[in-house]
Amino acid sequence: VERFKRKTKEYYHKKAENPGKSARKFFTSILPIFHWVRHYKFKQWIVSDIISGITVGVMQIPQGMSYALLAGQHPIYGLYTAFFPVLIYAVFGTSRHYSMDWSFAITSLMLGSTVSSAVPDPVVNATASQAEQDLAWKAVYDERILLGTSAALLGGIFLQKLRILNLGIIVIYLSDPMISGFTFGNAVQVFVSQLKGLFGVSAGSYSGPLNIIWIIRDVIVNLTTLDAAGRERVSATVIISAICVIFLLGVKEINERFKKKLPLGIPIPGEIIVVIVGTGVSYGADLAGNFGVQIIGEIPSGLPVPQVPPVDKFSSIVGSAIPIAIIGYAVAVSMAKIFGGTFGYKISPNQELVAYGVANITSSFFFCFPAFPSMSRSCVQVDSGGKTQLVAILSALLMLLVLLWIGPVFKTIPNACLASIVAVAIKGMLRKARDLPPIWKVSKLDGIVWILTMLATVFLDVILGLVVGVLVSLLFLVFRTQMIASERLVQVDDTEIYRKAGTFPKPDDKEVVVIAFRGAMHFANRQALSKVLMRCTGIDPGIELSRKRKLDAIRLKAMQEEESVYFYSLENSSVIEMNGHPKRVKCVVLDCSLISFMDSPSVKLLKKARYNDNEVDNYTTLGVKILLANVCSEVSHVLEVGDFISKYGADVIFLSVHDAVTWWHSRDELGTICEESFTATRL
């Protein structure tokens, strides 16, 4: 309490010294836009930011519509989410290179899986007109949008609560192998979900275990049961998809190989070319009327009227909203730290919670879904020379033009074009399969985490895959804390250095054994110390104490028969044995250099190992002394407050292993001299 009062007093005293600076620092911490605007280098950055803003804004149009369909929503809501959250994050976010909207495949699929299960796709007769199909889908989209906005609101509130509790570090529980396996599993789910759009057939909306199998089954069944009109529709759709995929892959290859040679470093906007050309060809050839190709349909113009997300939908969407928020935040902060380290500025994880929370809460009133930074467009922003969040503001203004005037032009774009954009966009996610070999090579447990997370994501569900990945990662973390490596050390020649016994020959003198415990000592792994003591000393206290009690009984009987001389010779000629091997260990030095933490059960174990309290782990009774070396301050404090030092003294703790061994040899030599003197006197 006194320390808290002192720190509080120092804090307020420091703020009172310069109130103007303190107030400015406070406002820039909660509104980072003031910081980067105040330090904006207009002449050096403005041209790059304008070019980058236009580039990113152009990409937002097709990706916003495509990922809205991936989320099971009408494309217009993807355009809304490419506008409102972007502006809000530019004010509250600390990353200067993030492009924020709904175009994030993982969270899109997570939400799409939930809303498609709650509100399945409409069952439309194959002979129904385009107007009838649009009407049926509108009813579905109107219902799904309510779930989407509820997810955004709940996710934003959850992130704000994490900020209040300063829990921005929650992402540390999402390991890199788990994220990699989860990302690859999501990529497989995303690709399968786009098959119906790529082939122009219908498939049911599934969630839960084996949902991917049912989708593939529906696609295959529908492809094999086509009538003449259906074959014509599928043929036209497949041709459109093939052309779009080949073109987009070619453009991506050019952008990756020759990005430094492109004009001003701006990548070729393949997606917007597909959208524009696809819309023009579809309109000119009337693909919907002549070939039955599925198109987006009417896109309303203007901005939406604010509406409060329905409270009655919270219970059905909260199970997905929280995982979406966690995954979106985890991936976003990880990428933000990479950008910040590359360009020399700091990222505040807690302030990012504020930015994502406020962005999602506010945009949920404008028919938007959970919004997190898009990795692909953020990379484009960096490659095209963007310097600050002015890029986001300019791209949002371009999106505003689309919403007000240009949006309805895209009503004839085929769904196959948007499905192709999503299918090609996950190319980077599918490359996560390359992470498995190096992960497996370094750690088999991490490799198993990757595999189990991927399999659970693919064959169970996206949400269940996340849960399985986190649980397996934490379970293996527990295994690692229990599977502590304990090894015997030997001296290297005549130096003060001690190394693992497997590397150097065993010493002839076995009176002193040096043991290293490689990790924190706690209740879950403290028995590992008992095992390594028995293994390295060759002494099982349970067996040896039993033998000692028998010797004590013989001694008592001999004393009663006044045959002490006989017993003396018996006791000094006998050797404690185990498995037929003589044991000469008299001292054990425990190297604590890697023990960073020790709990109370571990302290109790050391007490039991040193002193007779009727426990089996009692080496002192057998004449074996336990010494500690290289004890860090944290462990030393635990030993002190655990009454280890106060009761038994600090003479068993040494600065180094060599000091402990040297002390024992000097003490042992002195004991030998005294014993020889005692023997001579007795004789």
Domain boundaries, the chain: 31-477, 485-539+583-682, 549-579
Query: How far apart are alpha carbons 318 and 310 in whole angstroms?
Result: 13
Q: What pLDDT, on the 0 to 100 scale, is given for residue 7?
A: 61
Q: What is the pLDDT of residues 392-451, one digit of tens each?
A: 899 889 889 989 888 888 888 898 998 888 888 888 788 889 999 999 998 888 999 999
Query: How far apart are alpha carbons 607 and 610 in whole angstroms?
Result: 5
Query: How far apart are alpha carbons 51 and 54 in whole angstroms?
Result: 5
Helix axis angle, 105-118 relative to 176-193, nearest 10°? Answer: 50
Q: Is 373 helix (H, G, I), strand (E, B) or coil?
A: strand
Give the pair of three-digit tokens for residue 276: 């524009």
The dihedral over CA atoms of 422, 424, 425, 430, expressed in degrees to the nearest 10, equals 110
Please tell me which residue, 480 or 629, carries the higher pLDDT value.
629
Across the range 286-293, mean pLDDT stands at 87
Helix H segments across 574-624? 600-610
Q: What is the pLDDT of residues 320-362, one digit of tens each?
A: 899 899 888 887 887 777 777 777 788 888 888 899 999 999 9
Query: How far apart are alpha carbons 581 and 540 in whole angstroms?
Result: 13
Give the residue from 56, 43, 33 showing the smallest Cα distance to 382: 56
Q: What pLDDT, on the 0 to 100 scale, is given for residue 282?
A: 92
Task: Supply φ then ψ for residue 479, to 5 degrees.
Answer: -60, -40
Please tell me which residue, 123 or 88, carries the higher pLDDT value.
88
Query: How far apart are alpha carbons 64 and 79 in whole angstroms?
Result: 5
Q: What pLDDT, on the 0 to 100 scale, is given for residue 23?
A: 65
pLDDT classification of 455: cutoffs 50, 70, 90:
very high
Q: What is the CATH number of domain 485-539+583-682?
A: 3.30.750.24
Q: Provide the 8-state DSSP code for 562.
A: T
Give the residue from 102, 405, 427, 419 showing the smallest Cα distance to 256: 427
pLDDT classification of 671: cutoffs 50, 70, 90:
low
Q: Are 336 and 96 in contact (CB under 8 A)?
A: no
Give the pair of three-digit tokens for residue 273: 């070319």
Task: Supply φ then ψ for residue 587, to 5 degrees.
Answer: -145, 140
Percent over 70 (pLDDT), the chain:
82
Query: Above 60 in pLDDT, residue 644?
Result: yes
Query: Above 50 in pLDDT, residue 613?
Result: no
Q: What pLDDT, on the 0 to 100 scale, is given for residue 582?
A: 46
Q: What is the pLDDT of residues 188-236, one digit of tens each?
A: 988 888 898 899 888 877 777 888 899 899 999 989 888 888 889 999 9
Query: How far apart are alpha carbons 576 and 544 in whole angstroms?
Result: 7
Query: Above 60 in pLDDT, residue 503?
Result: no
Query: How far apart are alpha carbons 294 and 150 in whole angstroms?
Result: 29
Place of tokens 């497996």: 440
Q: What is the pLDDT of residues 43-94, one digit of tens each?
A: 888 888 888 888 888 878 888 888 888 888 888 999 999 899 988 998 888 8
The DSSP line for 296-322 is ------SPPPP-PPPGGGHHHHHHHHH
pLDDT classification of 24: cutoffs 50, 70, 90:
low
